[in-house]
Chain A
């Protein structure tokens, strides 16, 4: 009982996000230029150019949005680590209001993975009162004391240089992210389709971070360096009715290429991805181009989670097998999912991050 009482009343908050993350029950109404769904939320439109720095900030007229940062790290002894920092925004109504009237709800997730342990923590906040939020310029995303703050130089993109902090019950981290390449739009210039029926989101990334900083673990602080990847995505109906979850990877190849790929599991599997050259030129990968094959399942809390994958892109003779740093990287929070760092081998090798929901 003790641990139950210790937690905040997270059911309430999870409910707010459950609305947004669960498969949408209404068909998209984005055609015919209406641009809003039945409840008045905006719908992403193909051909809309991303605007910076404005699009680094929140889009309250969309139902769901996130600032999603992951990093694959190593310490001086060669031990691997993974770090996740995420701020979710979920809107109960498509607007922003002052004070407690704000319909915006914020949720923060932080994860830290070692080979033996996986730490996670979450935070919730109402919008409008200053407890959580994002400003585009100067760029700051925060919830409670967790923050992702821009230290970019004048004239550079705000996301080029970030200071990131989060703290849980038994861990914390302070990391510096410095971008070595440009922002990369995903999908069709930032319009990322999520189902054959046309559900879509706006989606761009900064996949070229080098990272350095300190992890505070129960055994003491650890200095780490590595690579990082930021995803920015917002939408109102990211999933189709029959889609139960997704498997998503971000991969950093040893040769400097990057790749993002995901499959959405529905009645039929929908896949998409982006091949990114070291200079940041993206090539969108259409449905079916990338293939995900589970190789090995791990039993976690009564669930069978496919923690080892073969990922293939036949056109480029790419075939790799992934191995997680810690197969038990389960984010046991009010919305639970698997999120952790991996290494891959095969036709290519490198490191990356894997996220799996709906198990």
Chain B
């Protein structure tokens, strides 16, 4: 009996293969987008874990100096006092054709970690110069004379080697910082008296990539979830349709004696099999998608956060398992309604397909109530909320409220149109559209969400881009930037440059904890390059003069907003300087760290050991100066960056940042179009009975098909119109809430109507594509098919 039941159930899919294809495609796509995003996230996170486990970052405290350097005899002094510390030397270095970070360790004293374990493989060779790097770094670096061995334990862009070699290559005799081992003997002189100038940094704070990149991953996850939800709309509509169409079959099977329990189990098993098939296909697609996007994600993370993420995706079974679980859960969610209805189906209920969920006034009121409640929640979150999660909660509530309101608003609009309609066909058109609204509402809600997301994210990116370009042009006022390789070279370059350039602006910085956040203090020479080009946020009067007089600090917008500072009212504690009034904030896009700026003399007094890392040079003869620097000092081209190059570099990082966002945007819209297609195909099958009487009254099948097409376009256009304010609201939230929370900067909203027009065009094309197949089928419907409707009529 079960076998017969299963055969009967399956026969439906054989006859309605398109419906089956929709169901599987919906599930597979939902799985693919969700799991693809998760694959990207997990790959990046495992890269962060690699970076942190290299030197036991999570477990060993650090001792560092604001200048970023510790003399080596300080290490000996601390060891000879009994303190268990281990030295590390870090620095940027050009290796072959790649810029890499050299990490020099002392494996005998280092805290346990992947790095010392690599060194221990052959200590003799390690001391003699063997180095380790990620295979990708080895490929990127090309030819060089380092004995470089591949290891996945080393983060991308890092070269692990012995501390002595690292000092040689970086041309330094100093250390970068010391690891303080977790277990220390008792009874030593305290560090406060032994090394009062060294800062004790808690374990893990030095490399909190996880924290900095959280917002990026949350963004990706939100997108993945949105795509998954849209995909589930497709599944839901296919499953619902299949249920409606098989009502008669269910009744017959029940009447033949098939127990309800068995029938339900059969349907559930059917759903499970479909979910498994679609889930596996989805995982494969998701992995392909992620592999395709991974290089861009890696570049984004490296550019934005300096996070060492390889551009190649590794397969991770945990990711696959969780993706599949999500598919099964989603399928269960989408199919639950159908199963529940089957369970409550009276055996003698009319075996006729009815319009799905005929919109009762009560149902509509309920949906409206939920939408209203969500809108209220969103407003409450706007007013009272704080934090990134609240921001996303606000977005979710607002989007859901808008989505739920879509059928209500559309119904109202259609009613309005119906009132203005003249002639029987027009009146029928509007009435019939309203009648079919509930059937299409899910798909239209999905379309609205996708369009709104598109508008919102597009507006955010475009606004950011416009602001960023203006800011970048001001920021990159210096015609040349020169990076000295060592303190000696810096000392030699400074007078040489001063003689030949209009202005030489040395860039120095020290690391510091600012308001409890990892940050940096920069030196700024009082110069028009800054006064003219750095627009300040909330400046006190004469902020630049007061800065030059050493009466305060400027902070970057990130620090200003995160710490809730107020210019003129608040002060900032700087190590070695004391508390100074905050004079204003400056925009500092793309930097995850807190930052403060001191005037140059004050900085040099407080941090005399800080090396010059870069000279910004104002000159009218950039090319000539570059040539003479290369000639007289033998500077490599990597050490000199001109304005245009710096701008290109920054822009390319910026553009890459949003490649992923754009790609996911397009994919989400595609899924929404597919959802609409699924709904229309479904509807077409059921509407023959409604359309046949019109055909009998004299409307040609072709005319009817045209009307169907027109209806889809009207509904699509109305949805697009509704999506516009929702999208702008989304953009506003992204710019003024999410961005502030995630990155620390607030951006002005700018509108780009041309982008909307382009999107509307694409949306209409998508709707047209989705509606044309059912319309074409209708147009080709022969008289026999239409007549048969009446023969079945009861």
The answer to whether B82 touches A144, judged by C-beta atoms less than 8 angstroms apart, is: yes
Q: Evaluate whether A130 and B120 lie within 8 angstroms (CB atoms) in the complex, with A5-B59, A7-B183, A8-B110 already known.
A: no
- Asked if A318 is at the interface of the complex by the 8 Å CB criterion, the answer is no
Of the 9-residue stretches B160-168, B459-467, B778-786, which lies at the interface with chain A? B160-168
Interface size classification for chain B: 35 or more
**Does B164 lie within 8 Å of A101, measured CB to CB?**
yes
Q: Does A125 contact B (CB under 8 A)?
A: yes
Interface segment out of the listed B111-119, B368-376, B407-415: B111-119
- By a CB distance below 8 angstroms, the chain B residues around A204 are none
Q: Does chain A have a CB within 8 A of B181?
A: yes
| Given A7-B112, A12-B107, A145-B81, residue A172 in contact with residue B117 (CB < 8 A) | no
A5-B111, A131-B76, A145-B82 are contacts. A126–B106 as well, Cβ < 8 Å? yes
Give the complex CA separation of A124 and B181 in angstroms: 13
Most buried by A among B73, B80, B111: B80
Chain A residues with CB below 8 A from B262, complex form: none
Given contact pairs A9-B111, A12-B107, A144-B82, A167 touches B185 in the complex (Cβ within 8 A) = yes
Given contacts A6-B182, A9-B110, A9-B116, contact A16 B123 (CB under 8 A): yes
Q: Say whether, besides A15-B120, A103-B127, A130-B73, A9 and B185 are in contact (CB < 8 Å).
A: no
Asked if B84 and A168 sit within 8 Å, CB to CB, the answer is no
B118 to chain A, nearest CB (A): 9
The SS class assigned to the A binding surface is: mixed
User: Known contacts A15-B120, A105-B108: does B79 contact A9 (CB below 8 Å)?
Assistant: no
A5 to B59, CA, bound (A): 7
Q: Give per-residue flags for B49-64: 1 if the beta carbon is below 8 A from chain A beta carbons, else 0.
A: 0000000100100000
Contacts of B627 on A, CB cut-off 8 Å? none
A131 to B78, CA, bound (A): 10
A100 proximal to B (CB < 8 A) = yes
Query: Does A49 belong to the interface (CB within 8 Å)?
Result: no
Q: How far is the CA of A130 from the CA of B76 in the complex (A)?
A: 7
Q: Total number of A-B contacts with CB less than 8 angstroms?
A: 104
The answer for the CA separation of A105 and B124 in the assembled complex, in Å, is 10
- Contact A142-B185, Cβ < 8 Å, known A100-B162, A130-B73: no
Contacts of B639 in A (CB 8 A): none
Q: Judge whether B16 is part of the interface by a CB distance below 8 angstroms.
A: no
Q: A7 to chain B: which residues have CB within 8 Å?
A: 112, 183
In chain B, what residue has the closest Cβ to A6? B183
User: Shortest distance in angstroms between B497's beta carbon and chain A's nearest beta carbon?
Assistant: 33
Rounded to whole angstroms, the CA-CA distance of A100 and B76 in the bound complex is 13
Quote the shortest CB–CB distance from B687 to chain A (angstroms): 65
Interface residues as binary, B30-58 with A (CB distance below 8 Å gives 1, 0 otherwise): 00000000000000000000000000100
Q: Do residues A9 and B107 form an inter-chain contact, with CB atoms below 8 A? A: yes
Specify which chain B residues have a CB less than 8 angstroms from the CB of A124 in the assembled complex.
108-109
Interfacial chain A residues near B721, Cβ < 8 Å: none
Q: Which parts of B529-573 form the interface with A (CB within 8 Å)?
A: none
Any chain B CB within 8 A of the CB of A239?
no
- B164→A100 contact, CB < 8 A: yes
Indicate the member of A12, A124, A167 with the most B CB atoms within 10 Å.
Answer: A12
Q: Mark A55-82, 1 if CB is under 8 A from B, else 0.
A: 0000000000000000000000000000
> Which residue of chain B has its CB nearest to the CB of A131?
B79
Chain B nearest Cβ from A164, distance in angstroms: 15
User: For the complex, what is the distance from the CA of A95 to the CA of B116, rounded to whole Å?
Assistant: 24
Known: A103-B127, A125-B109, A167-B187. Contact between A9 and B117, CB under 8 A?
yes
Give A107's nearest chain B residue, CB to CB.
B108
User: Is the CB of A51 closer than 8 A to any CB of chain B?
Assistant: no
Q: How far is the CB of A149 from chain B (nearest CB, A)?
A: 13
Given contacts A16-B123, A144-B82, contact A9 B113 (CB under 8 A): yes
Residue of B nearest to A106 (CB): B108
Instruction: Indicate if A333 sits at the interface (CB-CB under 8 A).
Output: no
- The yes or no answer to B186 lying at the interface (CB within 8 A) is yes
Chain B residues with CB under 8 A of A8 = 84, 86, 108-112, 181
Q: Is B630 interfacial (CB-CB < 8 Å)?
A: no
- B-to-A contact residues, CB < 8 Å: 56, 59, 72-73, 75-76, 79-82, 84, 86, 106-113, 116-117, 119-120, 123-124, 127, 162-165, 167, 181-188
Kindly list the 7 A-B residue pairs having the minimum CB-CB distance in the complex, ordered from nearest: A100-B164, A9-B116, A12-B120, A6-B183, A145-B82, A124-B108, A12-B107
* Residues of A near any B CB (own CB < 8 A): 4-9, 11-13, 15-16, 19, 92, 99-101, 103, 105, 121, 124-126, 129-131, 142, 144-145, 167-170, 172, 216
> Please, could you name 27 A-B residue pairs with CB atoms under 8 Å apart, sorted by A?
A5-B111, A6-B182, A8-B86, A8-B112, A9-B107, A9-B108, A9-B119, A12-B108, A12-B120, A13-B107, A15-B120, A92-B123, A92-B124, A100-B127, A100-B163, A101-B164, A103-B127, A105-B108, A121-B185, A124-B109, A126-B108, A142-B80, A144-B82, A145-B79, A145-B82, A167-B185, A168-B185
